[in-house]
Amino acid sequence: MSSSPAKDFRFPEGFLWGAATAAHQIEGSPLADGAGPSIWTRFAHTPGMTLNGDTGDVACDHYHRWKEDVRLMRDLGLQAYRFSVSWSRILPEGIGRVNQAGLDFYSRLVDELLENGIEPLLTLYHWDLPAALDDRGGWLNRDCADWFAEYGTTLYRALDGRVKKWVTINEPWVVTDGGYLHGALAPGHRSRFEAPIAAHNLMRAHGAAVQAYRAEGAHEIGLVVNIEPKYPASDASEDAGAVRRAHAYMNEQFLHPALLGTYPPELKEIFGEAWPDFPAEDFQLIRQPLDFVGINYYTRSVTADGDSYPLNTQVVRQPLGTYTETGWEVFPQGLTELLLWFKQTYGDLPVYITENGAAFFDPPVADAGRVRDPLRIDYLRKHLSAIHDAIAAGVDVRGYMAWSLLDNLEWSLGYSKRFGIIHVNYGTLERTPKDSARWYSGIIRSHGRSLSDPLPY
């Protein structure tokens, strides 16, 4: 009997292979060279807000080791690097005075990337609002749209041309759900009334930043969202209703206004009296033409009716599922289904997978210069295969950014969860590419073809 030929996993010409990080999670030295504090500097230094009292004061010390990190990217063959800028490094008070030293840091980083053949994908906002603006109401203040446009314009004028792919905001859902509704993330508020206001103002800021880019820039700009498919735990109508609410809250709350100019009606049901009537003209600002959308995908949710706040749902753990260290089920086929839903709902807008990865246990110290992480390799392989399936079905996926380049500060979970394809020894800050990094390097060299090869274990 002859065996069937191996599947051809070649990705489209021009598909961009890279990895991603965020400023506060890797840079360290948050107040160096004239930078102002951010809400995360303040939050992490508030007792009890982060695991073990961990802060971003040192993190991976990328602020001083950026050249070494770019060399590691080059050695792995990365074609792109998605990173974020610390707003308060550029504008210590959030608006007004520009801190040239902060701007110069990112200018040097961009130049080093380009010199090594790596395309920069720059995110304006990955959760670290200047503390000075939080003191003025932060995302609850409607002026934030003007603040954000001013900040964006400062960077566009300095870097556009060298940077050709821009992102306004990373994961607005996490900003509002974690920061304004449940208080688990900075700025640590817990208010059903604040969450929808902050969410709406984030989207107004997004729209204002896109408008500012069209006036100053000449390349591409988009929005990044974290979304996940919701599946009913049973055939009961109550669970179907729970899925409808969870899907609207996480997957449509930000994409609908950005791409359709409206909110899903379920949000009014979810928030009740806390849901405001927003001015119609706001949606003209929010709904700006985008060049792409970035999708961050990690897991799915099997959802049942329940009593969680504010959705009245519960997540049902799957007894035969594989779960990561963060408690997220490994479910790659959900990524294919999610990408198809995106195309069916919002059309043929180009998509980048701007984050995808997993936290599995890795030892704190590399063993003789090696870190074996077979579960991470299996996770990446299955999700890349799922992306290939979506492309074959007609979804315009343009690139993939593994999360994350480096082990790093996992926000309020401190340094307890390792997502990196490069291991960081937090005692010495030594970097060691994990087996997953070497495997991913081979995927890049083969442009995906080696996905059909046997795993190296």
Chain centroid to CA 355: how far?
5
Pair 118, 79: CB distance under 8 Å: yes
Q: Which amino acid is at 1?
A: M
- Helix 194-216 × helix 144-159 angle, to 10°: 30
Catalytic site includes residue 355: yes
Q: Which of 27, 171, 228, 329 is catalytic?
A: 171
**In whole angstroms, how far apart are CA 62 and each of 59, 165, 371, 434?**
8, 22, 21, 18
Alpha carbons 425 and 432: distance in angstroms, whole number: 8
Q: Which of 119, 228, 252, 355 is catalytic?
A: 355
| Residue among 241, 242, 169, 222 at smallest CA distance from 199 | 169
Catalytic site includes residue 68: no
Active site positions, annotated: 171, 355
